[in-house]
Amino acid sequence: GRGIFCQKTKKLGCSPAGVSPPTLQGILLYFAFSLLPARTWTCCPVSWKRFQANCYYSASDSMSWDESEKNCTGMGSHLVVINTQAEQDFLLRWTKDIYSDRRGYFIGLSAQEVEAQWRWVDQTPYNQTAAFWRPGEPSSPETEKCTAFQVNSRVEPKQNWNDVSCSIPLNRICEAAAAFM
């Protein structure tokens, strides 16, 4: 169908490069197909990248963390929740492929509540042992309550999370479950 792409689940990889941002029609088709019972194809909206059972979207425009989460939610997704080393490695490889002098990407980890506990947007429990903070981070919990996934040559690839102000404009990575057809 238009607006989505599907692939046999045995294959890795996903979207073609240089495809325009997803349309509302494409996103609606994607979610309509996600309700079908047959599950031999894994599908993501066009211009999203598939990894395992999820679809990822990197936006090239910059906005605050709150605006970024609203933008992802408006596409039926949320800011990315990084659960494993494999997912961290995938995101690092993928963002380096599309990186063009960007400071970083917002991810779905923040400490915006009064108790300043780190929380994922999907309520996945925060696990310090599965976190990929830069050395010395998080460093300023009073003022830097959001998390950026940094991609540049000065950052250690396996430890590239940095706590940042939620109001600075950054790019974002959205995540949604892949549809199976």
Q: Where are the domains positioned within the chain?
A: 4-180
Q: How far apart are CA 128 and CA 170, in angstroms?
A: 24
pLDDT score of 70:
97
- pLDDT tens digit sequence for 35-90: 655 557 889 998 999 999 999 999 889 999 999 999 999 999 999 999 999 999 99
Two tokens, residue 43: 């599908």
- pLDDT tens digit sequence for 128-174: 888 999 988 998 878 899 999 988 766 666 789 999 999 999 999 99
Termini Cα distance of the chain: 12
Q: How far apart are CA 39 and CA 181, in angstroms?
A: 4
Two tokens, residue 12: 């890795």
pLDDT score of 42:
85
CA angle 57, 46, 68 (to 5 degrees): 25
| CB-based contact 33:179 (threshold 8 Å) | yes
Domain 4-180 fold is: Mannose-Binding Protein A; Chain A (3.10.100)
Max Cα separation, the chain? 49
pLDDT score of 3:
64
User: What is the pLDDT confidence band of residue 30, given thresholds at 50, 70 and 90?
Assistant: low
Determine the 3-state secondary structure of 178 from DSSP.
coil
| CB-based contact 172:71 (threshold 8 Å) | yes
Mind giving me the DSSP string for 119-142?
EETT-PPP-GGG--BPTT-S--TT
Determine the 3-state secondary structure of 104 from DSSP.
coil
pLDDT score of 19:
42
Q: What is the mean pLDDT of residues 117-121?
A: 93
Rg of the chain in Å (alpha carbons)? 16
Strands 105-110 vs 41-45: parallel, antiparallel or unpaired: unpaired
Q: Look at 72 and 112; give whichever has higher pLDDT.
A: 72
Cβ neighbours of residue 156 under 8 Å, at least 6 residues apart? 134, 135
